Amino acid sequence: MMPRLSRRTVLRGLARGAPVALALPLLDAMLTGRARADEAGLGPIYGTFFWANGLPWHAGHGSAQAGGTDLWTPATTGADYAVSDLLSPLAAHAPNVISGLTPWTEIPASPDGQSDGHMRGFMVAMTSDRPRSEGFDHPSHTLTCLRPTLDQVIAEDPRFYATFPSPYKSLQLGISTARFHDYGHWNAISYAGPDAPIPPVTDPSRLYDMLFGISTGDAEAGRRARLLDAVLEDAQSLRGKLGVTDRQRLDDHLEHLYEVQRRLDLGDITCASPAPPSSSADLFTQTNTFAELLAMGLSCNITRSFSFMLASPASTHVFSELGVVTDMHTVCHNGDWTAVYNITALQMRCLGVLLDHFAAAVDPTGRSVLDRSLIYAASEYGEGYQHAVAEMPILLCGGANGGLNRGIHVREAGGNLSKAHVTLLRALGLETASYGFNGGETTEDFAELLA
């Protein structure tokens, strides 16, 4: 256990030796002799944006889905592709579109149901791996992952925060509170590891407190941090009595305590805070609120990795603002293409407003949060009518701090979805020889997208 204590000491030393977050606006003086913001140590920002229930189906999803028009896939590939109907709310931000991809992961024969798009498509989109077979229970829709989701893989990569720690390694945000089930991945799109879902913050006041209410290294915060030393010490007497599994669970808890303590010890966090937000039941309004807060927090380097669950997998959100009275999951299964189209278009407008706020948050060097960001936008499968995992929708938005070209459509029909993950890891400067697991392994990327 002692190495963990020294690690904390190192972290605290780092935090005290350097400003951990920058005031808004970024002081020009801090950039003296530095040409670019990333050289000031800010680095790229990673975000997963998740929307529910895929796309309005079309023939590309399978013969049974023929009859629906493909309003997603751009008609042309390459730079300056022809923007499709559903992508039009994002056009101003020139997202990269990757079309045609699908999971390549194996489907174990037992237990039943591991091919279900809600389960397999989701896990591959978030982890490049299949769901874990152990504990998989189709009747109760219980499942977990085999490894952390991308946002956690990136946040925990030692290279990602090597030079410039943020108060939070990652944040998880969510908008809709409708849930198909109130457990597991129906309630969270981020996982720290198997059996460790990280449910999102859905209350804007809580998000506000997390971003702008961090105790600022004063005596009172110092007292709270010091008493945690005794808590950590006290945990050792328990740790020595536990079996392997429980000890790991306790160690994970202690890691969280170190992080809480590190935040209490941070000095000089100043981030111009906006007015406290109010909560809204309207999806677009709430997204707008969260996006504005998040963009400001990212400007201040409060974190550099986040996940944003617009609606949960198999969402039961009722889109009454669109005149749809039935919950979304049921709407998909009822085969109501027009309703699914309208719902998907609204979800794209929500992504659009997030990108708008990111683009509007500009530092004195002229770089926006969107320029620094790589936002991987994906859903759980291709479409929800029959849970097809063909033609899964994938976007890579933003400039990845110079790592990503913009406004390109690449298409690979039947291609391995993990190839998108290799691409985004490399765009973030996290050179990865291979990504994907249990059939999804690949060394390839979409080179056209990498700057």
Interaction residues for another protein, span 300-319 (CB under 8 A): 316, 318
Q: Which is closer to another protein, CB of 104 or CB of 186? A: 186
Q: Which is closer to another protein, CB of 235 or CB of 362? A: 235
The backbone region for 79, taken as left when phi is positive above 0, alpha when psi lies in -120 to 50, beta otherwise, is: beta
Q: Which residue has the tokens 């659009």?
A: 352
Q: Which of 330, 365, 432, 438 binds another protein (CB under 8 A)?
A: 330
Q: Which is closer to another protein, CB of 184 or CB of 217? A: 184
List binders of another protein among 94-113 (CB under 8 A): 112-113
Q: Which stretch binds another protein (CB under 8 A): 29-37, 98-106, 334-342, 422-430?
A: 334-342
Q: How far is 244 from 421, CA to CA, in rounded Å? A: 32
Q: Is 386 in the site for another protein (CB under 8 A)?
A: yes
Q: Is 132 in the site for another protein (CB under 8 A)?
A: no
Q: Is 411 in the site for another protein (CB under 8 A)?
A: no
Residue 274: count of CB within 10 angstroms of its CB = 13
Q: Is 326 in the site for another protein (CB under 8 A)?
A: yes
Host H or E run for residue 96: strand 96-99
List binders of another protein among 57-86 (CB under 8 A): 64
Q: Which amino acid is at 419?
A: K
Q: Is the dihedral of CA 86, 399, 313, 350 positive or negative?
A: negative
Cα distances from 253 to residues 231, 232, 233, 250, in angstroms, run: 11, 10, 13, 5
Q: Residues touching another protein: how many (CB under 8 A)?
A: 75
3-state secondary structure 160-181: CCCCCCCCCCCEEEECCCCCCC
Q: Which amino acid is at 351?
A: L
As measured in angstroms, the least distance from the Cβ of 333 to another protein is: 5
Q: Is 192 in the site for another protein (CB under 8 A)?
A: yes
Q: Is 196 in the site for another protein (CB under 8 A)?
A: yes
Q: How far is 229 from 250, CA to CA, in rounded Å? A: 15
Q: Which stretch binds another protein (CB under 8 A): 47-55, 323-331, 360-368, 405-413?
A: 323-331
Q: How far is 32 from 97, CA to CA, in rounded Å? A: 37
Q: How far is 275 from 107, CA to CA, in rounded Å? A: 49
Q: Which is closer to another protein, CB of 58 or CB of 406? A: 58
Interaction pattern, residues 137-166, with another protein; x per rule: CB under 8 A: -xxxxx------------------------
Q: Which stretch binds another protein (CB under 8 A): 188-196, 338-346, 350-358, 367-375?
A: 188-196
Residue 63: count of CB within 10 angstroms of its CB = 7
Residue 22 tokens, joined: 């920058």
Q: Which of 20, 93, 104, 116 binds another protein (CB under 8 A)?
A: 116
